[in-house]
């Protein structure tokens, strides 16, 4: 297999060139300034405009719409949240944990509603997620997850255990001993969604400024090198890129997730492989992997494993780590050996954002007018929608079911200063890879590696 294009598959599917958006070159005043034109920023603008059409809103991006994780991700629109149900129950009580779960499931219905209403074609397919267990340790993990799920009182049909025969009805994973299925996920093309959303919010009267890096966010003021925006409210929607802004250097760490895409695969491949409803897929290893069958019958497949870069550095070079891309090819072949001989047409990567306590949050400081949302780890496609709806309520002063969810106004601590940050994150990464290597030999490891556990606050 030979790699070809170094860039997201999704970028080829949307027209960037024909939209010329202005740069911010003179001071302006608006009701709401939104920093970042990814899902978080654009969903916030969308729901604000729907709720209060008179508000003047400016979105300011350092690059262009969808430049960040929103234009590069695996396209899992899931109900996954970075903090587990048990962690939420421990922090906020079981009822709040359940409310959060219900809200997350509701995101999928809400996004489906909006894309239908606004005619956003983003290759949506609500097929659920199938996760394979490919060794005995992984199978135990699958069983435990389903047991914990039913013990927590969440709806049983949210997560079902699959035997080896049952998983074969979803996908023909090599060596699958069983696994799980949840209906709570849709596959989508993220670039089509983020660009579609940008056009919708512009249609509602929102201004979007591109190529305008924000240097500082202070009380009611957003400053770039050339101009500033005075605003009653500011939404910081910069996720993994937050360390580029003076006030939020240690709010999250940018951790890279990397992806590959195959060429469109033949009808006979799909006949044998399954995923007929474009179920998103993964397996029960510790190091996250994720895949989807795209609307044009490729596999887009990704995983973590790229190193954290000292000082939270974000550069285009970090998107391409040949060892990680090769490992992704190898892993994909292990899952579906019939991929052998097909071309890998795209390799890419991007930075996602992780808060120190692995707890996503959104909120508003009424004193400064600064709102924020993020820390989604790899689950921001749908969580950002919940953030947008919640921030709109907070900014409009509307108390609602959303504004009392447990992640609202949660404050994560800052990450450690370097070199402790670098040592901690990269050590945990090594430990996770080691756990998978041990488990592949069918030996048992502890459920959450202790080092990783300390890092994610389990
Ligand atoms: C490879 C990869 C795969 C993933 N897969 C999935 C998945 O399958 N499912 C899922 O739920 N999540 C996934 N995620 C995570 C998900 O993509 C993100 O959580 C989500 O897109 C975050 O959206 P956002 O709008 O908050 O941030 P982003 O999309 O990162 O947007 C931030 C924006 O801020 C702009 N910006 C940065 N700095 C500045 C500045 N100083 N001034 C102005 N603007 C600035 C950037 O240009 C960017 O456009 C994945 C992430 C990656 C990288």
Q: How far is the CA of 145 from the centre of ligand 1 (A)?
A: 28
Atom of ligand 1 nearest to the CA of 373: 26
CA pair distance 240, 341, nearest whole angstrom: 35
119 contact partners, CB below 8 Å, separation of at least 6: none
Compute the distance from residue 22 Cα to the ligand 1 centre, in Å. 21
Q: Which residue puts its alpha carbon closest to atom 21 of ligand 1?
A: 70
Q: Which atom of ligand 1 is nearest to the CA of 237?
A: 26
What atom of ligand 1 comes closest to residue 244's alpha carbon? 41
Mapping DSSP onto H, E and C, the string for 128-184 reads CEEEEECCHHHHHHHHHHHHHHHHCCCCHHHCEEEEHHHHHCCECCCCCCEEEEECC
DSSP summary character for residue 368 = T
Quote the tokens at residue 354: 């992780």
Ligand 1 atom with minimal separation from the 215 CA: 41
Which one of 33, 58, 68, 303 would you pick to mutate in the ligand 1 pocket, going by the greatest count of ligand atoms within 8 A of its CB?
68
What stretches in the chain show pLDDT beneath 50? 1-3, 446-451, 453-458
Helix boundaries (H) for 30-163: 39-51, 85-92, 94-117, 136-151
User: Beta strands 214-218 and 207-209: pairing type?
Assistant: unpaired
Quick one: pLDDT at residue 437?
76
Tokens of 25: 């070159």
Both tokens of residue 144? 């435990």
Main-chain phi, psi angles of 232, to 5 degrees: -65, -40
Other Cβ atoms less than 10 A from the Cβ of 397: the count is 10
Summarised one tens digit per residue, pLDDT across range 431-452 is 877 887 777 776 555 444 444 5
d(CA 73, CA 9): 10
Eight-state DSSP code of residue 106:
H
What is the residue with the minimal CA distance to atom 13 of ligand 1? 378
- Looking at residue 125, the DSSP 8-state letter turns out to be B
The secondary element (H helix, E strand) that includes residue 322 is: helix 322-335
Beta bridge partners of 58: 33, 207
Instruction: Give the integer Cα–Cα distance in Å for 308 and 132.
Output: 28
The two beta strands, 221-224 and 361-365, are unpaired
Taking Cα atoms as reference points, which of 308, 335, 311 lies closest to residue 430?
308
DSSP count for the chain of H helices, then E strands: 11, 19
CB distance 232 to 55 below 8 Å: no
Best mutation site among 8, 38, 290 for ligand 1 pocket (most ligand atoms within 8 Å of CB): 38
Positions of E strands within 221-284: 221-224, 228-236, 252-262, 280-283
100 C-alpha vs ligand 1 centroid, how far in Å?
22
292 neighbors 74 (Cβ within 8 angstroms): yes
CA distance 381 to 69: 9
Pocket test for ligand 1, best of 378, 387, 388 (most atoms within 8 A of CB): 378
| 7, 60, 62, 73, best to mutate for ligand 1 pocket (most atoms within 8 Å of CB) | 73
Q: Each residue of 92-135: pLDDT tens digit?
A: 999 999 999 999 999 999 999 999 999 999 999 999 999 999 99
Query: Tell me, what's the pLDDT at 304?
Result: 81
**Residue 162 contacts residue 138 (beta carbons within 8 Å):** no
* The total number of residues written for the chain in this structure: 458
Give the tens place of pLDDT for each residue, 216-256.
999 999 999 999 999 999 999 999 999 999 899 999 999 99
**Which phi and psi angles does 212 have, rounded to 5°?**
-135, 75
Ligand 1 centre distance from Cα of residue 27 (Å): 27
- Integer Cα distance of 388 and 179 in angstroms: 33
Q: Residue 63: its pLDDT value, please?
A: 96
Lining ligand 1 with CB less than 6 A are 35-41, 60-63, 67-70, 72-76, 78, 213-214, 237-241, 244-245, 257, 259, 290, 302, 349-352, 374, 376, 378-382, 384
Choose which residue among 213, 261, 352, 377 to substitute to test ligand 1 binding: the one with the highest number of ligand atoms within 8 A of its C-beta: 352
Cis peptide before 419 (omega within 30 of 0): yes
Judge if pTM exceeds 0.85: yes
- Cβ atoms of 260 and 290 within 8 Å: the answer is no
Q: Whose CA is nearest to atom 20 of ligand 1?
A: 380
Q: Report the run of H or E that residue 193 belongs to, with start and end.
A: helix 190-203
How far is residue 29's CA from residue 63's CA, in Å, rounded to a whole number?
A: 21
Q: Which residue has the tokens 């579609």?
A: 196
Closest residue by CA, ligand 1 atom 33:
36
Question: What was the pLDDT predicted at 17?
Answer: 62
């Amino acid at each position: 297999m030979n790699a070809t294009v170094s860039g997201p598959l999704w970028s080829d599917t949307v027209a960037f060139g024909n939209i010329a958006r202005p740069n911010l070159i003179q001071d302006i005043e608006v009701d709401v300034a939104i920093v970042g034109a990814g899902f978080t920023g654009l969903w916030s603008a969308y729901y604000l405009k729907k709720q209060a059409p008179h508000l003047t809103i400016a979105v300011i991006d350092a690059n262009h719409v969808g430049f960040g994780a929103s234009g590069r991700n695996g396209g899992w629109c899931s109900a996954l949240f970075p903090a587990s149900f048990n962690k939420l129950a421990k922090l906020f009580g079981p009822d709040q944990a359940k409310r959060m779960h219900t809200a997350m499931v509701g995101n999928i219905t809400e996004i489906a509603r909006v894309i239908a209403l606004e005619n956003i074609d983003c290759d949506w397919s609500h097929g659920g997620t199938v996760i394979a267990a490919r060794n005995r340790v992984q199978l135990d993990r699958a069983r435990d997850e389903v047991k914990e799920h039913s013990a927590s009182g969440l709806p049983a049909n949210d997560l079902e255990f699959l035997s080896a025969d049952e998983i074969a009805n979803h996908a023909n994973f090599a060596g699958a001993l069983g696994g799980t299925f949840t209906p709570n996920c849709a596959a989508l093309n993220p670039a089509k969604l983020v660009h579609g959303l940008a056009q919708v919010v512009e249609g509602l009267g929102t201004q979007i400024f591109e190529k305008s890096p924000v240097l500082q966010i202070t009380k009611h003021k957003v400053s770039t090198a050339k101009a500033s925006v005075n605003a009653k409210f500011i939404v910081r929607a910069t996720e993994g890129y937050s360390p580029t802004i003076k006030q939020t250097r240690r709010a999250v760490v940018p951790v890279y997730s990397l992806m590959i895409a195959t060429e469109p695969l033949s009808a006979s491949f799909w006949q044998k492989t399954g995923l007929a409803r474009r179920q998103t897929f993964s397996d029960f290893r510790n190091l996250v992997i994720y895949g989807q069958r795209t609307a044009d019958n490729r596999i887009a497949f990704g995983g973590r494993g790229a190193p954290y870069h000292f000082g939270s550095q974000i550069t285009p070079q970090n998107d391409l780590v040949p060892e990680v891309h090769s490992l992704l090819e190898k892993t994909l072949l292990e899952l579906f050996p019939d991929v052998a001989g097909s071309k890998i047409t795209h390799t890419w990567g991007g930075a996602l954002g992780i808060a120190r306590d692995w707890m996503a949050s959104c909120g508003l400081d009424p004193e400064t007018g600064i709102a924020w949302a993020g820390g989604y780890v790899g689950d921001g496609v749908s969580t950002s929608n919940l953030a947008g709806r919640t921030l709109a309520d907070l900014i409009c002063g509307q108390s609602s079911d959303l504004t009392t969810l447990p992640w609202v106004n949660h404050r994560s601590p800052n990450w450690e200063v370097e070199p402790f940050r670098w040592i901690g994150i990269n050590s945990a990464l090594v430990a996770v890879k080691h756990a998978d290597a041990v488990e592949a030999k069918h030996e048992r490891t502890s459920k959450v590696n202790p080092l990783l556990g300390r890092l994610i606050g389990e």
